[in-house]
């Protein structure tokens, strides 16, 4: 997947505008394994569908799925997980989820997944608005054009907390 990092943003129509709320340079962090449970959509990077993403988020939030999970750790921490990348990085799974203590018994229509422990670059911005992450991603793509790190393409995720949005990108590095 070495070529994925250079072409990961090809075909995306988001403008590469600056984000003044972005909190400086990314931080290299070691993350423990984290269990999440939620709903999944298989997506294609060459045909981005913000409508599909929006519909999935609307469904997840309207049905308050994070509140239905008995094993939920915090219903106020929501995840947008990108995982199961195809070998050319064009297809991936998007899972909207919340952190849980166990993924042994997923509810009907939901998937449970373990976000692998490892090194991640954390990009953070103030605010929890749903439009924050799409504005951060172009800066992430630009960062990786000349970054000293290579993306691992194992699991990347957006973490939405009450006053902050963070995006964690798995990297091939030791912390």
**Predicted pLDDT at 161:** 87
Query: Residue 97's closest CA among 67, 134, 55?
Result: 67
Alpha carbons 41 and 61: distance in angstroms, whole number: 15
Task: Find out whether 41 and 91 touch, Cβ atoms under 8 Å.
Answer: no
Residue 128, pLDDT > 70, answer: no
Q: Give the pLDDT confidence score for residue 9 in this predicted structure.
A: 36
Cβ-in-10-Å burial (0-12, 13-18, 19+) of 81 comes to buried
Regarding predicted confidence, which is higher, 70 or 153? 153
- Domains in the chain, ordered, with CATH? 21-170 (3.20.80.10)
**How much is the mean pLDDT over the chain?**
77
Query: pTM (2 decimals)?
Result: 0.79
CA distances from 29 to 13, 117, 140, 170 (A): 30, 10, 16, 10
What does the buried/exposed string (b/e) look like for 63-74 if buried means 16 or more CB atoms within 10 Å of the residue's CB? eebbeebebbee
More confident residue, 58 or 11: 58
Closest CA to 91 of 157, 3, 8: 8
What's the angle, vertex CA 132, arms to CA 68 and CA 106, rounded to 5? 20
Give the tens place of pLDDT for each residue, 55-97: 777 787 777 777 677 677 777 788 999 998 877 767 788 899 9
Average the pLDDT over 109-130 and give the result: 86
Residue indicated by tokens 């569908």 = 49
Residue 175: predicted pLDDT:
56
Which residue, among 156, 14, 32, has the nearest Cα to 85 in the 3D structure? 156
* Secondary structure element (H or E) that encloses residue 62, with its range: helix 50-62
**In the structure encoding, which two tokens stand for residue 63, read together?**
């049905």
């Amino acid at each position: 997947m070495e070529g994925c990092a250079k072409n990961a943003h090809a075909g995306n129509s988001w403008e590469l505008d600056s984000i003044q709320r972005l909190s400086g340079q990314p931080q290299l962090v070691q993350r423990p394994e984290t269990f999440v449970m939620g709903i999944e959509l298989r997506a294609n990077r060459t045909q981005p569908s913000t409508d599909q993403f929006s519909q999935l988020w609307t469904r997840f939030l309207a049905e308050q799925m994070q509140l239905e999970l008995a094993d939920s750790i915090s219903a106020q921490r929501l995840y947008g997980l990108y995982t199961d990348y195809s070998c050319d990085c064009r297809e991936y799974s998007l899972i909207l989820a919340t952190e849980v203590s166990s993924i042994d018994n997923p509810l009907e229509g939901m998937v449970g997944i373990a976000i692998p422990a490892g090194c991640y670059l954390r990009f953070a911005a103030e605010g929890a608005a749903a439009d924050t992450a799409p504005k951060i991603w172009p800066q992430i793509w630009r960062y990786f054009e000349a970054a000293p790190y290579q993306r691992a393409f194992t699991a990347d995720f957006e973490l939405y907390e009450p006053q902050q949005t963070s995006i964690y990108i798995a990297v091939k590095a030791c912390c």
